[in-house]
Amino acid sequence: MEGEMERKPRIRRENNFVVEENIDALKWPQQCAECGRPVEVTDTLKLEKTYKTLGKINVTVAGIPYCQEDMLRVRRGKLLERVRMILAFVIGIPLGFIGIALAANSPGTKIILFGVVMFIGVLAGYGLAWLIVKVPVKLLFKSKFADPVDGWLIEEKKKDGKEGVSVVLSIPNKEYADLFARTNGV
Ligand SMILES: [Zn+2]
């Protein structure tokens, strides 16, 4: 409306974009976020996380533009990521137990160490799952998968000094990320 202040998102750019306020006012440049061709479909991210102090937070990021073909590649990419996460635990938890069994056999091991060993096991599983899933897929079927525009929530201190939630947006295509920055005045 005339005379009305335009609502603007407050964003800072680090490795990713961190949207501190007014995420609903974000503007997505109207071209495919992967290849720059005309927009055919839009994707929506539904982010949810429960915080000790702030309770359950829901944020919807709508209108992420893709061409039809890249929407498919993005869906496959997200599926692949899920497979990798599951595999990380499927491999990592037994690794953790093996580590614990080994640690339990060596004298003088404290119980507290078991948690650390399990953590290392899952971390190793995460790395192995990456090798098993991502590397071959990237080498053989790269054209069938795309890294999506992704988002997640973080808790941080806001300008007014209070704890609040910000949205981190990862935009893999550098050109599109630059365009996104200019469009939103970052
Ligand atoms: Zn595209």
Using one digit for the tens of pLDDT, what is the confidence trace for 47-57?
Answer: 999 998 889 99
CA of 91 to the centre of ligand 1 (A): 34
Ligand 1 (single-atom ion) residues, CB below 5 Å: 32, 34-35, 37, 67, 70
CA of 81 to the centre of ligand 1 (A): 20
pLDDT tier, 142 (very low <50, low <70, confident <90, very high otherwise): confident
Look up tokens 């640690």; give the residue. Answer: 103
- Cβ atoms within 10 Å of 133's Cβ, excluding its own: 18
Does the pLDDT value for residue 3 go beyond 80? no
What are the φ/ψ torsions at residue 183 (nearest 5 degrees)? -60, -35
CA distance 109 to 131: 31
pLDDT at 111: 64
CA of 142 to the centre of ligand 1 (A): 14
CA of 11 to the centre of ligand 1 (A): 25
Q: Please give the angle made by the CA atoms of 103, 109 and 114, to the nearest 5 degrees.
A: 60
Q: Taking residues 5-16, what's their average pLDDT? A: 88
DSSP 2-57: TTSPPP--EEEESSSEEEEE-GGG----SS-TTT-PPP-EEEEEEEEEEETTTEEE
CA of 150 to the centre of ligand 1 (A): 16
Using one digit for the tens of pLDDT, what is the confidence trace for 89-129?
Answer: 898 989 888 888 887 777 766 666 778 888 889 899 988 88
% of the chain surpassing 90 pLDDT? 48
pLDDT tier, 10 (very low <50, low <70, confident <90, very high otherwise): very high
CA of 67 to the centre of ligand 1 (A): 4
pLDDT at 60: 95
Q: What is the pTM assigned to this prediction?
A: 0.77
Cα radius of gyration rounded to whole Å, the chain: 21
Q: Taking residues 135-154, what's their average pLDDT? A: 85
